[in-house]
A and B are shown apart, each in its own frame.
Chain A
Amino acid sequence: MQPANNTQYAIETRNLSIFYGEFEAVTNVNLQIEKQKITAIIGPSGCGKSTLLRAFNRMNDFVPTSHVRGEILLQGTNLYGKEIDPVEVRRRIGMVFQKPNPFPKSIYENIAWGARINGYKGNMDELVEQSLRAAALWDEVKDKLKQSAYALSGGQQQRLCIARTIAIQPEIILMDEPASALDPIATLKIEELMQELKRNYTIIIVTHNMQQAARVSDYTAMMMLHGDTRSGTVIEYDRTDVIFTRPKDKRTEDYVTGRFG
């Protein structure tokens, strides 16, 4: 076993607040994300789910006014420490976006590009195949690897984006409503894929689909706008079955049963 303090959790936040300029979008979040589990973040729209998720791989850096207070710890290292390289962070903590966003290149290149810029030296064909297999896409695309990724369906494109993320061997995969732009069948495929992936990766998924959260996740964090400042925070965090069957917070119960939001 590793030293207890830095390997118990995949990510740990301490009094984390996230700002856009003056506006405090997310307040005082304390979460411990379990390794190799799927953690869902749910809550009404605008409560800061995406903001929180994007803090985990420093995508918020691209909003010039954004800044954080508090800590995000990875094995005891603060993600927002001065010595941390955000580029390296994003390599280790991959992200799948709400709308599929493949590069306007061939299917093959979509996967190879990330590997190449990150200095991958092994056999590229093998990496592409393994990643596509891991994303359950190989059988559908193996004969058309040179074709444009734009020729794929939305669901296939999203799995390609997952394959692309897998190819750079991240530790953690962040997914921001990865199925919200997809049809039910494609959604199901993504959900099945997530179950496969959690053997090797820690997954954090934002969703506002209650059934999805209940179906796929092991842990659930419930976010809500809160207080006079109307900034989002995690009001309850627990095992998914607890959140959906006997939540402690009344607001969570209202939300998961569809009475609110």
Chain B
Amino acid sequence: MPSFTYPEKNELERFVAARYRTGWVWQVIFLSALIIAIFSLSALLLNIVDGAFGYVAYEFKKDPLTISEKPLDQLNQQELIALLQANLSRGAYNKLNNEKPMESRSQGELYNLVIERIIQVKTLQTYPLFRSLFEKAAIEAEVSERYPGARLEFRSWLSPTFLTTPQSSKAEFAGVRTAVLGSLWLVGIAIAFALPVGVGAAVYLQEYANKKSFISRVIQTNINNLAGVPSIVYGMLGLAIFVRAWEPFTSGAMFGITDTNGRTILSAGLTMGILVLPLVIINAQEAIKAVPDSLRQAAYGVGATRWQTVWHHVLPNALPGILTGSILAMSRAIGETAPLIVVGASTFITIDPQSPFTKFTALPIQIYQWTSRAQSEFQAIAAAAILVLLGLLLTLNATAILLRNRFQRRW
């Protein structure tokens, strides 16, 4: 028998200890990757929260105290209208009244009007949340030195008014109402297209096609590839087909609508629908795969046709999975930005979208726009809009998790 020499006794102990030490060091290194991930996520979220709240230094053209005894935000509709009448020139007042009768404007809208037209606020400087909390004195000193006469106020850029007011060219009065509505329209159209088509394709691949056949392998590979196509390429597709080639349809000209071009909600929604289609298909396939074969056999065994089996048994049992997948697809659609830029989302829209044939803006488009502006107040509303977007995503994902738990299958 050959003899092998291995470390013994002390040497062995040292050797093993060294190996364990190496192992331990690497375990820490592996774990630190996850810690970096956690750190990045926290930094990202804190950075956004930091931007969305904080002190703002304002300058007024007219001091609110000189035009009203009560604080402005406590005035009712009538009082606000009176204020506007008293402080605006007749022409300016009538013009506003013609745009939208004063009586039909909400208290919030009127308040914004007073601030915008009479007080004429100008933001001089915004401060992030954490500085505002911990360096209040320094901020006050800085403001009184640099902007004498300015008013310092703590502002939450994310507010109920922010959610309910439309766009404005001034950050102080801008809201995300039109953008949120645009996003909802988009996601609605996208899922209305992608869900039936996606589930149909998944049913075809899982229940009808011979999986080994050439055609079904081509379709499957193709779907996996579509899932990896950059989103901006879908934007180019949407631009060439929906916006341009199908303009008579997507602009609504076919239906007698004349004042738009092809850059409508419909074009963008269909583009998004195609973009999320592979996602819907792949998720629906997984859900259908999870339905046990014994159930299909049971149905065929009592003389069901293929479609009866699919419609009465496979789909109902795959439904929670399909819905969860669709919600994930909706999350994807609601956050996608690049294709919307290409398809031609408008960046400035102040009226609510009324039909699929209107110009539109969307939440991520607003975020992109505002982030790209150099003024700090726009970056503040970008942060507030991001919080709205993350809120929407959170709601969607919570729904998905609830669905999954509620309908968990027993097999």
- Please give, as numbers and ranges, the residues of chain A lying within 8 Å of B303 by CB-CB distance: 87-88, 90-92, 114, 117-118, 168
| A59 x B300 contact (CB < 8 A) | yes
In the assembled complex, which residues on chain B have CB atoms less than 8 Å from the CB atom of A94?
Answer: 301-302
Residues in chain B near residue A97, CB distance under 8 A: 294, 297-298, 301
The chain B residue sitting closest to A113, CB to CB, is B312
Interface size on B, as a range, is 20 to 34
| Nearest CB in chain B to that of A99: its residue | B294
Q: Are A87 and B298 in contact (CB under 8 A)?
A: no
The reply to whether the CB of B387 lies closer than 8 angstroms to some CB of chain A is no
Within 8 A of B (CB), among A219-259: none
CB < 8 Å neighbour of A101 from B210, B213, B298, B409: B298
**Contact A103:B300 (CB < 8 A) given known A64-B211, A64-B212:** no
Query: Would you give the shortest CB distance from B314 to chain A, in whole angstroms?
Result: 11
Instruction: Say whether A101 contacts B312, CB under 8 Å.
Output: no
Please tell me if the beta carbons of A91 and B297 are within 8 angstroms of each other in the complex.
Answer: no
Q: Which residues of chain A are near B296, meaning CB under 8 Å?
A: 62
Q: Does B295 count as interface, using CB distance less than 8 angstroms?
A: yes
* Bound-complex Cα distance A101 to B301 (A): 11
Residue pair A114, B294 in contact (C-beta under 8 Å): no
Task: Scan residues 213-229 of chain B and give those whose CB is less than 8 A from a CB of chain A.
Answer: 213
Interface residues of A in 144-187 (CB under 8 A from B): 150, 161, 164-165, 167-168
What's the Cα separation between A117 and B409 when bound, in Å?
Answer: 25
Are A91 and B211 in contact (CB-based, < 8 A)? no
B298 x A59 contact (CB < 8 A):
no
Q: Nearest chain-A residue to B309 (Cβ)?
A: A117
Contacting A103 at CB < 8 Å: which of B212, B298, B308, B410?
Answer: B298
**Inter-chain contacts of B313 with A (CB < 8 A):** 103
Partner of A113, one of B294, B302, B305: B302
Residues A150 and B410 in contact, CB atoms below 8 Å apart: yes
Interface residues as binary, A123-141 with B (CB distance below 8 Å gives 1, 0 otherwise): 0000000000000000000
How far is the CB of A46 from the nearest CB of chain B, in Å? 19
In the complex with contacts A117-B303, A117-B312, A102-B298 CB distance below 8 A: yes
Point out the residues of chain A lying under 8 angstroms from B132, CB to CB.
none
- List the 8 shortest-distance A-B pairs measured between CB atoms, nearest first: A91-B303, A114-B302, A101-B294, A95-B301, A64-B210, A101-B298, A90-B303, A87-B305
Listed by A's residue number, 5 A-B pairs whose Cβ atoms lie within 8 Å are A91-B302, A95-B297, A95-B301, A101-B298, A117-B312
Apart from A97-B298, A101-B297, A168-B303: 6 A-B pairs, beta carbons within 8 A? A90-B304, A91-B303, A95-B301, A97-B297, A104-B409, A113-B312
